[in-house]
Amino acid sequence: MAIEEAHAIRRINPLSLFDVANSEKRPLYVAAPMVRYSKLPFRLLVRDYGVDITYTPMILAHEFIRHPVARASDFSTSPSEGVVIAQFASNDPTEFGRAAEMISPWVNGVDLNCGCPQSWASKEGLGCSLMASREKVAAMVKEAKRRLSGTGKTVSVKIRVHKDVEETKRFVACVEEAGVDFITVHGRTRNQRSSTPPDYDAIKVVRDSTKLPMLANGDVYSLADAHEITRRTGADGVMAARGLLVNPTLFAGHERTPREAVATFMDYASASGLRIELVIHHLSEMMAGFSTRKERMKLTQCNDMVDLTDLLEDHWQIVPIAAASA
């Protein structure tokens, strides 16, 4: 891809993709921010199979703005990457705004995480703990919008629902007034585990209370799920996490990960230098549809990408595209 084309992609405003999806009479398809797993190779793969927007893993804003090593570790991109949003964890307007400004040339927007339920995040005043501080979140949105003014980059927030959905409505109204461009609503409270079914009725209540573009998040495991969830909630699109880990091709309508997608992922992972343990985790998830757990345990015995490539070819007849064309 030419540098000019890559620059053109970075000039795409994510809000325009909501309009494109609507014109095609379908939900916007979005890949969620997943700690460790939303790295560049996986983002490139899901883009090949119908995802409109990808998110980076959650990045700690205070580390990102202070340490070049942290920036290199937390974020990488490629001229061939499509529309991508960087998600930050922060509880300080200046910190969030500065991180947004620093990363803006390489992304299409930034997102504030107000939904991470992990205890360490709550202790730091990050993630879900921000759901009790809507004025602070509004201040953070305003600062990021100020710093990104004129760039065409979006500022969004990802939230969970409160036990009292009326409080969620007040939260959304506050950040809407602050100028947030769109929101993602995860249909669980901060204390509910992933085994608890998402509350799609609560998401609909929020949807009906705001004019903001909105994504629904929670239990998207198939293309049929995506359409049913948007029908039930009225959301403009869906964000998938665990469903995409198991089947990165779900938005393209595949019921399970095809072998060619595994081969493509190996190419992307090899080119990026993704850590071997992360590659093995992705393969273990993606290959569940056509292999047994015992078979996949062989993956954990591989020491490097050469071992993995040999195992995939010998046991499953999967050959990375680059290797096959060499």
| Beta-carbon-side half-sphere exposure of residue 114 (alpha carbons within 13 Å) | 30
| Angular region, 50: left φ>0, alpha ψ -120 to 50, beta rest | left
Is residue 185 classed as helix, strand or coil in its secondary structure? strand
Structure tokens at 171: 């939260």
CA distance 318 to 186: 36
Structure tokens at 208: 């009906």
Is residue 31 classed as helix, strand or coil in its secondary structure? strand
| Angular region, 52: left φ>0, alpha ψ -120 to 50, beta rest | alpha
Active-site annotation holder among 116, 128, 174, 302: 116
CB 182 within 8 A of CB 213: yes
Structure tokens at 27: 């939900």
Structure tokens at 78: 């490629």
Per-residue burial over 146-173, b = 16 or more CB atoms within 10 Å of its CB, e = otherwise: ebbeebbbbbbbbbbbbeebeebbebbe
116 flagged as catalytic: yes
Catalytic residue annotation: 116
